[in-house]
A = this chain, B = another copy of it.
Amino acid sequence: MRTVTFIPGYRKIDAEQGSTILDAAQRAGLNINVVCGGQGKCGKCIVYVRSGKTIFDQQKYKRFFTDDELAQGACLACQTTIESDLQVFIPDSTSIQEQKILIDGQETAMEFHPSVRKYYIELQPPTISDPSPDLSRLLWGIQKAGGPSAEKIYAPLEMLRKIPAILRHSEWKATGTVALVPGGYRLVDVQENDTAKRLYGAAVDLGSTTIVVYIWDLVTGKIAGVASNYNRQISCGEDILARVNFARKNGLSKLQALATESINLAITTASNTAGIDREDIYEIVVAGNTVMTHMLLGIDPAYMISEPYVPVVRRALSVSTGRIGITCNPNGGLFVFPAVSDFIGGDIIADILACGMSEKEEISLLIDIGTNFEVVLGNSEWMFSCAGAAGPALEGGEVLFGMRANPGAIEKISIEPGTLNPLYTTINGIKPQGICGSGLIDLLAELLCTCVIDRTGRINTGIANPRIRTNSHFPEYVIEWANRTGIGKDIVITENDIKNLIMSKASVHAACVTLMNQAGINRKEISTIYFAGAFGNYINKKNATIIGLIPEISIDKIVNIGNGAVTGANIALINRRMRKTLDEIACRIAYIELNAESSFMDEYTSGTFLPHTELTLFPMVQKLLDTCRITKE
Contact = CB atoms under 8 A, between A and B. Distances in A.
Interface of A: 126-136, 154-155, 157, 160-161, 163-165, 168, 182-184, 297-300, 302-303, 307-315, 317, 319, 323, 341-342, 593, 595-596
Contacts of A307: 128
A271 to B, nearest CB: 25
**Which of A164, A165, A183 counts the most B-chain CB atoms under 10 A from its CB?**
A164
B161 A342 contact: no
A319 to B, nearest CB: 5
B134 A319 contact: no
A90 B107 CA distance: 75
Contacts of A299: 157, 160-161, 164
Contact of A313 (B128, B160, B298, B315): B160
Contacts of A298: 157, 161
**A-B pairs with lowest CB-CB distance, top 10:** A183-B183, A128-B308, A131-B308, A133-B314, A135-B313, A126-B310, A133-B311, A134-B312, A126-B308, A160-B299
A135 B339 CA distance: 13
A243 B163 CA distance: 21
Given A161-B300, A593-B129, A310 B135 contact: no
A292 B157 CA distance: 16
A334 to B, nearest CB: 10
Given A297-B157, A323-B157, A132 B310 contact: yes
Contacts of A164: 299-300, 302-303, 312
25 contacts: A128-B307, A128-B593, A128-B595, A128-B596, A129-B593, A130-B308, A131-B341, A131-B342, A132-B314, A133-B310, A133-B311, A133-B314, A134-B313, A135-B315, A136-B314, A157-B299, A157-B319, A157-B323, A160-B312, A160-B317, A161-B299, A161-B300, A164-B302, A164-B312, A165-B300
B135 A314 contact: yes
Nearest to A168: B303
A312 B163 contact: yes
**Which of A160, A168, A312 counts the most B-chain CB atoms under 10 A from its CB?**
A312
A154 B155 CA distance: 18
A33 to B, nearest CB: 31
Give this chain's copy count. Answer: 2
Nearest to A127: B308
A42 to B, nearest CB: 28
Nearest to A301: B164
**Which of A129, A133, A311 counts the most B-chain CB atoms under 10 A from its CB?**
A133
Nearest to A154: B182
A360 to B, nearest CB: 26
A258 to B, nearest CB: 17
Nearest to A132: B310
A244 to B, nearest CB: 13
A117 to B, nearest CB: 20
A165 to B, nearest CB: 7
**Which of A165, A299, A595 counts the most B-chain CB atoms under 10 A from its CB?**
A299
Contacts of A127: 308
Given A133-B314, A135-B315, 7 more contacts: A129-B593, A131-B308, A133-B312, A157-B297, A157-B319, A161-B298, A164-B312
A433 to B, nearest CB: 40
**Which of A131, A136, A161, A342 counts the most B-chain CB atoms under 10 A from its CB?**
A131
A58 B314 CA distance: 74
Contacts of A596: 128-129
A517 B313 CA distance: 60
Contacts of A183: 182-184
Contact of A160 (B132, B134, B297, B309): B297
Contacts of A155: 313
A95 to B, nearest CB: 34
Contacts of A314: 132-133, 135-136
